[in-house]
Amino acid sequence: MCWWESGCRKTHLLKLAYAMAACLQEPLPTRTAMQGLLADKLVGVLRPEALGRLVRRRAGRERAELEAVFAQADEPLRVRFASNSRREVVVEAMPEVPLAKRPCYLPTRELLTIAPGFVALYESRLLEFEETWRDTCLLLQSPALRGPRQRQIQLLLKPLEEAMGGQVEADQNGRFYLRQGGSRLEMPLVAEGLSKLAMLARLIATGALLDSGMLFWDEPEANLNPRLVRPLAQTILELSRQGLQVFIATHSLFLLRELELLLAQPGVMPNHPADQTPSFFGLHPGEEGVNVRSGPELAAIGSIAALEEELDQEDRAYGIGTDGTEAGWQA
């Protein structure tokens, strides 16, 4: 779980990790082929005009160095590219075996309303949409899973369906609906916060998240009613308990606290090895770039701008003076 101040490139970091993991699927390409595959994926996911635009802007020629270490892999994926690169990536090291499971990326926007027909349009036209949308829409369009894992899926879906007040359905044309009792509501008519929960529910129902090694989710709380944050946090934790590694980037102190409260319960994460225990990361802007603070507890990430601004607003709203006295609400 990560908390970030604005301007620290939280989305870029999530997308970089996702792109690198997505390129290590079976069949694993040769090192030469990987250089082209990864360059195309980085450009498709992050949408720069040229790959070198991802390098920090300073006078002269600069270069970026990326390294991703995977527990399932025998070697890290280590690459570099320069500020003048168009689509050139140098692969310095890469695993010799592919990752056993694929990653999944959830953007800040829900995608169920655009999923019907989006993949076909994306593949046939030049669209200025990031490639993560295409990748996730492909997963959303998979049929619901049946068989031995159906009970596991139902347990994961229960808190989400209670929060939505219904179940997600798809018709033969690929359109999605939220069924509430005897009525069925078209997904474009559903509030966006509920649609985000519905997107998560659909990916669970298709088995996409159960078959995924990693989930990257950018601001899951965006457009979400605060009352729905608790079932969201419970589902995230339960997915982690099922073996899914979850990366969350958020500005929400409310969500972070809810996750911390759930993690503090005895026996919540009994089967995780020491190197896979939940961690919090705080990214803070500094003079030379971004400073990172991390630890197993929320307090380890340092000052939280969301909390500081909320306290400052409370002081202004209730007119608390420098002597600590309360002057009452100020219009």
Annotated domain spans of the chain: 2-25+99-318, 26-98
Work out the average pLDDT over 75-101: 92
- Work out the percent of the chain whose per-residue pLDDT is above 90: 47
pLDDT, residue 107, reads 93
pLDDT, residue 309, reads 75
pLDDT, residue 212, reads 72
pTM: 0.86
pLDDT tens digit sequence for 160-211: 999 999 999 999 999 999 999 889 999 999 999 899 999 999 999 998 888 7
Work out the average pLDDT over 231-247: 89
Supply 288's token pair: 């030379």
Query: Is 98 or 1 the better-scoring residue by pLDDT?
Result: 98
Which of 192-196, 240-244, 316-320 is the least confident region? 316-320
pLDDT, residue 320, reads 61
CA distances from 253 to 68, 81, 325 (A): 28, 36, 27
5 confidence band (pLDDT: 50, 70, 90): very low
Q: Are 203 and 144 in contact (CB under 8 A)?
A: no
pLDDT, residue 291, reads 78
Pairing of strands 280-286, 2-4: parallel
pLDDT, residue 4, reads 43
Q: What is the mean pLDDT of the chain?
A: 85
Of 47, 46, 38, 3, nearest in space to 20 by CA? 38
Work out the average pLDDT over 112-140: 94
Q: Which CATH class is domain 2-25+99-318?
A: alpha beta
- Work out the percent of the chain whose per-residue pLDDT is above 70: 88
Maximum mean pLDDT: which of 7-21, 46-60, 218-232? 218-232
pLDDT, residue 216, reads 95
Query: Is 149 or 25 the better-scoring residue by pLDDT?
Result: 25
Maximum mean pLDDT: which of 160-174, 220-234, 285-299, 310-324? 160-174
pLDDT, residue 271, reads 55
pLDDT tens digit sequence for 22-77: 999 989 999 999 999 999 999 999 999 999 998 877 666 788 999 999 887 789 99
Whether 297 shows a pLDDT value over 90: the answer reads: no
Whether 310 shows a pLDDT value over 90: the answer reads: no
- CA separation for the pair 255, 4 (Å, rounded): 13
- CA separation for the pair 283, 234 (Å, rounded): 25
Of 80, 79, 84, 78, nearest in space to 53 by CA? 84
Is the bond into 48 cis (omega within 30 degrees of 0)? no
Whether 3 shows a pLDDT value over 60: the answer reads: no
